[in-house]
Structure 1
Amino acid sequence: MGHNVAKTELIFIEELHNNPDVERIHIASQPTRLRILHLLTDKSRMYATQIGETLSIDRKIITFHLNALEEAELVTSKYGLSEDKRPVAVKYYELTSKGKEILERILQMIK
């Protein structure tokens, strides 16, 4: 009986290892990334400088985390013009539906 339990646990662990959402939760769980995801739930879209200024974190660090979130398909990006008096080209980021789902899962786990 003990052998079957161990085998079942190994199968479960293997299934977890191959589940992309487990990896997404791991990626999104980093504190700065959680703050970015949470911020993007309140705003429809933002660019890295805006996110950095809002969170008081250097833009380069924000960009590093945004790249990880985008690779995990938790945020998406597209280029557009800023809404300043003198618009410039910027890369806007917004939360994906998967990003919203993963953020909700994480928030449920920590409640």
Structure 2
Amino acid sequence: MSEELTALILHLAHDNPTWCYTRIQGELRRLGHRVGASTIRRILRSAGLGPLPRRSPGAGPTWRQFLRVQASGRLLWRVCVMEEIRHCQSVAPVRPQANYLSCTR
């Protein structure tokens, strides 16, 4: 491995701290260099740069929690829209589509 390529790997890692080994590998491949992810990992470890820190459990919602919140919000939105349509139909039940657009509470 050339000193120049090693310096480029370290430069990419320092400038982009959120990039993983495979992301750096992809960028190097785009630049015309074929280097394995394990080689990049070895170079970064020898320079004192370990793997990216893992997300702590309390840092944000899990995927399941996120989907639940989105689904409940969507259900609430549907209930509110249906309430508006019912209200508009009770005020002037001529054409629900036009009434919904022109109805104000």
Q: Scaled by the length of structure 1, what TM-score is found?
A: 0.36
Larger radius of gyration: 2
Which fold has the larger relative contact order, with Cα–Cα distance below 8 Å and residues 6 or more apart in sequence? 1
Counting strand residues as a fraction of each chain, which structure ranks higher? 1
User: What TM-score do you get using the length of structure 2 for normalisation?
Assistant: 0.37
